[in-house]
Amino acid sequence: MSDLYEAQTIAIARQLWAASQESRNFFSQLREQMRIEDKLLGWAMEHPGLRVQLFRLIDCLPSLRSKTEVARHLQEYLSDPSVELPEALKKLLNFAQPDSLPAQAAATTFTTAVQALAHKYIAGETTEQVLKTIGRLRKQGMLVTMDILGEAVITEVEAQQYCDRYLDLMQHLSPLGQREGINPVQVSVKLTAFYSQFDPLDVSGCRAKVGEPIRRLLHRAQELGVAVHFDMEQYTYKDITLAILKEILLEPEFRDRADIGLTLQAYLRDSYQDAQDLITWAQQRGTPITVRVVKGAYWDQEVIKAVQQDWPLPVYQHKQDTDANFERITELLLSHHTVLRTAIASHNVRSQARAIAIAQHQRIPPTAMECQVLYGMADKLAKALVDAGQTVRVYCPYGDLIPGMAYLIRRLLENTANSSFLRQQLGAVNIDELLAPPQPTADFGAGNVHVTTGKTSTFANAANSDYARASQREAIQAALIHVHRQLGQTYTPIINGDRVHPLEYSESLNPSQPEEIVGRVGLATIEDAEHAIRAAKAAQAQWQQTPVAERATLLRRAANLLEAQRHELVAWMCYEVGKVVAEGDAEVSEAVDFCRYYADEMERLSGGYDRNFPGETNHYHYQGRGIAVVISPWNFPLAIPTGMTVAALVSGNCTILKPADPAAVTAAKLAEILIAAGFPPGVFQFLPGRGSVIGPYLTKHPDVHLIAFTGSQEVGCRIIAEAAVLQRGQTHIKRVIAEMGGKNAIIIDESADLDQAVAGVVQSAFGYSGQKCSACSRVIVLESIYQPFVQRLVEATQSLNIGPAHLPSTRVGPVVTAAARDRIQEYIAKGQQEAELALSVPVPSVGYFVSPTIFTNVPPTATIAQEEIFGPVLAVLRAETFSQAIEIANATAYALTGGLYSRTPSHIQQAKVQFAVGNLYINRGITGAIVDRQPFGGFKLSGIGSKAGGRDYLLQFLEPRVITENVQRQGFAPIVGVDD
Ligand code: NAD
């Protein structure tokens, strides 16, 4: 970094620092010391445990509808053992009952304090209030940019309202506006809020959807003399946001507009490159726009996402790297001030001083740069900047406090974070240190940084594709085209290494476009099944003797092959069973994980253990059971057959895979991969065929030792019964692993974050058209929020795009077959007799489509609340109390997955104990279990297996043995640890 500006930077920074530190008068200091809201922040800085609980409490506060509830939550959150309570807070919490008088008083005190805190950072709740704030700021010589606080836009109604609210706000701002030069009033908008289905995979769809409101807004803004600035949000939206804006701003009607801006976040590792690209683009455009440089407000979220997905970390890990990058971008932009204007948005005195020093040095015209601060965050710095002759704009969020909470929490985090300048300047940090140039770390120039912070397992899950990256979007599009050309081919059973050619074939159709034949699959006969069993029997002894390391190597090889063919496999699933791209991609990851995880697990188990005594050795170890038959469902056409098959193989069992008919082509692809990985003939065999014909033959066969089944409860129970019958010549008891259906519920209580709850329920209920055993098919809502929840749920579901699975815009594809469609329609007809139909939407006429359907006021005993429908049908049920909600949730024959949206610690605790499900998900969707992280499977009628992808799974495929040897000879045996 150039030193040209350093001396001046420090001089300006010192002046700004001095001016913004001017002492407050005695009374204001005294008043501030007495305000509880200030004390809250002070305590949060001193006590990390309190900070976490306090911010969580503030987050849920607006959802609480009575003082009693506030008091109850105050006590629940702050009595957590992790919280170190200052005396004053202890006193506040000292009440016995949440509905007592002292409790009500505490609730009032706390709510008032949080409101006061919010008012510090939120420029007003109404247009009148905000216009007053603008007036006050204007008197102080400051300009504004207005941000309307909003809930997450998850419905198209909300997207429309968002745009309308801005049009209305601009109307009010118009008298303060100006058509030329620096515009005193500006609005800041977010692209994702214009379209509820904003998704980086669907670039052209998003461009079309947001283009219309953007153009409307830009036209109207010009008429009203208000400038428009586009905010930047999470990293996943960055490239698509830039691409869409760059394109629109080159359109002839907008090309000469200088009153538009967009944002770069310096905490992003690729933001310097983005700045360079923007300069090139702006040169081509001809008229300057404004680039606001910020550090970035979603750091924690970005790190969490990157760690969870094992994606490269998009942000710098160290604050000084972000600061250094900020200065680098500042210098780059200011040196191109003829093509771009720059807005320096920071509360860091040095960052602002640096920009001013560069601007002065380069004699940049005042119109080419402005300084920006957030409302309420750095009032004194803003004033000092105005006094120093700078153009200062204040970013003013306004609107209701409830949607404002997310904003408030971000500000509170910033204000109390150890690394924040605002926090540091309050502390004992030496001024020279505080203003010194940021020293980049060794990590500054690094690309492709992966972090594992906070993980407690060493197992590395395969990373899903990140469709925010153009290369991965292009790869899946190419695969869809490539695979489409291969539709209609023929696949055969593979017995003892040979492809056999049966007389009968079944056609696997594309459910989005049933005239398309995905493939013809040969149907194995009973004779074929018998051949396969004989081949397996012949191969068994040698396979069982094959060292575990060799067997594990084959699994890892299969994992690599699956990963190498990731995009093609996604495309096959998309065409064969109507799975949308993102869901198919996650499924490939799961298949890969199963291979690697079970390879690791078998190696862990293979050593067994010893319990030796002097003169006696005892060795506990495992061996394969024998011949395994795997019977898989169609709904996870890759992951489930892979998981069951490789578990059986690595445990030393010769394995016959019988896939589900509607998914037999995808299974044939898996078979090709397993054979290519090196599983010998006889050890792995592929036996597509009619379940009702070869299924019973295989499961009843006396030479079969183990059946791994995943599918419906009806078939599962039949297999268990059949397997229990000893056949002639059978000298063992068969082991059956049966993972079956679910009737899964999500409970929503009053304290739930509705943005999250609605999105989570929609995804869990309608993702893959509800055809997951883990899908949400009941949502149980507490009376107090029933109405608002249902309204948003219906609108959000109505906003989903329904269409052929291969289109990037599709969120809900078809169901798998015509028979499935008809069966689901029968349930819908039944539902209409049992409850109120709240939503049904038109669906494409070609393909096996069923409308996402919502029934409300469903009685808990109704058929649609009890039976597994396996389609996009959701029953909404009411509950008076939380305990009743749990009772309703538990009142079915299944116990697979369940969910809870709540911010009430005691409810979360109660659900952990009482909600009877195999997999309970709290404050997130209930589908998408990940190997090792969420081992998966249920109990009651949902299954009798130990969780797939978990530590007990392989044990089911193994026989444990113990070998005891007396090693004493004539009273002699070496005794370890005793000298001769
Ligand atoms: P299904 O029971 O109809 O079929 C499953 C498999 O069993 C298929 O391969 C089929 O050909 C075979 N089959 C059918 N009749 C047979 C018989 N008499 N003997 C032996 N095999 C026979 O289930 P499906 O429609 O493929 O899958 C959907 C069901 O699977 C749902 O109930 C769902 O909840 C369940 N499922 C459960 C899990 C879980 O982990 N618990 C996971 C996925 C799916």
All residues at 6 or more sequence positions from 287 whose CB lies less than 8 Å from its CB, including other chains:
255, 256, 257, 258
Query: How is residue 17 written in tokens?
Result: 């620092």
Q: How many residues does the chain have?
A: 980
Tokens at 293, concatenated: 């440089």
Residue 811, classified by CB atoms within 10 Å of its CB into exposed (0-12), middle (13-18) or buried (19+), is buried
- What is the reported pLDDT for 31? 53
CA angle 241, 242, 245 (to 5 degrees): 85
User: What's the 735 CA to ligand 1 centre distance in angstroms?
Assistant: 17
What is the spatial distance between Cα 824 and Cα 837, in angstroms, rounded to a whole number? 15
- State the pLDDT at residue 25: 55
How do residues 649-661 score in pLDDT, each as one tens digit?
A: 999 999 999 999 9
Q: What three-state secondary structure class fits 342? A: strand
| Separation between Cα atoms, residue 393 and residue 346, nearest integer Å | 11
Integer angstrom CA distances of residue 562 from 120, 566, 616: 54, 6, 46
Task: Collect all residues with Cβ–Cβ distance below 8 Å to 78 and sequence separation of at least 6.
Answer: 50, 53, 54, 57, 85, 89, 93
Angle, helices 349-361 vs 319-334, to 10°: value is: 20
Report CA-CA distances (Å) from 389 to 356, 371, 384, 804, 917.
10, 11, 9, 59, 64
Return the ligand 1 atom nearest residue 936 CA.
40
- Ligand 1, residue 636: give the atom nearest the CA: 43
685, β-bridge pairs: 656
**Cα gap 386→391, rounded to integer Å:** 6
Going from the first residue of the chain to its last (980 residues), give the mean pLDDT of each consecutive group of 10, the final group possibly shorter.
84 92 58 70 86 92 93 93 86 91 94 89 92 95 93 92 96 83 90 96 96 97 96 97 98 96 98 98 97 95 95 96 98 97 96 97 94 94 96 94 76 77 70 93 91 88 97 98 98 98 96 98 98 98 98 98 98 98 98 98 97 95 98 98 98 98 98 98 98 96 98 97 96 97 98 96 98 98 97 97 98 98 98 98 98 98 98 98 98 98 98 98 98 98 95 98 95 73
Report whether 737 contacts 703 (CB < 8 A). no
Report pLDDT for 1. Answer: 47
CA of residue 870 to ligand 1 center, whole Å: 12
DSSP state of 238: H
* SS3 (DSSP) at 194: helix
b/e sequence 819-836, b meaning 16+ C-beta within 10 Å: ebbeebbebbebbeebbe
**Vertex 807 angle, CA 804 and 811, to 5°:** 75
Report the 10 Å Cβ neighbour count for 371: 26
Q: How far apart are CA 824 and CA 822, in angstroms?
A: 5
Q: CB under 6 Å to ligand 1: residues?
A: 631-636, 640, 658-661, 691-692, 695-696, 699, 710-712, 715, 718-719, 739-742, 773, 868, 870, 896, 937, 942-943
Q: Which of 526, 630, 631, 657 to mutate to test the pocket of ligand 1 (most atoms within 8 A of CB)?
A: 631
Ligand 1 pocket test: pick from 764, 773, 944 the residue with the most ligand atoms within 8 Å of its Cβ: 773
**CA–centroid distance, residue 809 to ligand 1 (Å):** 30
Q: Ligand 1 atom closest to Cα of 938? A: 41
Task: Tell me the pLDDT tens digit for each residue of 276-329.
Answer: 999 999 999 999 999 999 999 999 999 999 999 999 999 999 999 999 999 999
99 residue type, one letter: D
- Which of the 8 DSSP states describes residue 198? -
State in Å: Cα 857 to ligand 1 middle.
31
Closest residue to atom 34 of ligand 1, CA basis:
741
State which ligand 1 atom lies nearest to the alpha carbon of 896: 41
223 annotated active-site: no
What is the phi/psi pair of residue 779, to 5°? -125, 125
Q: Which residue's CA lies nearest to atom 12 of ligand 1?
A: 691
Instruction: Please calculate the CA angle 801-805-809 and round it to the nearest 5 degrees.
Output: 40
Instruction: Tell which atom from ligand 1 comes closest to the C-alpha of 773.
Output: 34
Per-residue pLDDT tens digits for 399-421: 987 667 778 888 888 777 777 77
With the most atoms of ligand 1 within 8 angstroms of its CB, the residue from 587, 632, 658, 712 to mutate is 712
Catalytic residue chosen out of the listed positions 60, 206, 595, 773: 773
Position in ligand 1 atom list of the atom nearest CA 739: 41
Q: Largest Cα–Cα distance of the chain, in whole Å?
A: 108
Residues 187, 173 contacting (CB under 8 angstroms): yes
Q: Distance of CA 896 to CAs 11, 885, 947, Å?
A: 65, 17, 11
* pLDDT at res. 957: 98
Whether 583 sits among the annotated catalytic residues: the reply is: no
The conformation of residue 635, written as its DSSP 8-state character, comes to S
> How far, in Å, are 335, 502, 506 from residue 691 at the CA level?
71, 16, 12
- For residue 731, give every residue at least 6 positions away whose Cβ sits within 8 Å of its Cβ, in sequence order, or none: none
For residue 710, how far is its CA from the centre of ligand 1 (angstroms)?
Answer: 5
For 593, other C-beta atoms within 10 Å of its C-beta total 24
The alpha carbon of 643 and the centre of ligand 1 are apart by a number of angstroms equal to 15
CA of 713 to the centre of ligand 1 (A): 8
pLDDT of residue 405: 77
DSSP-assigned states of every residue in 288-313: -EEEEEE--S-HHHHHHHHHHHTPPP
Catalytic residue among 76, 590, 739, 750: 739
Query: In the prediction, which pLDDT does 296 show?
Result: 95
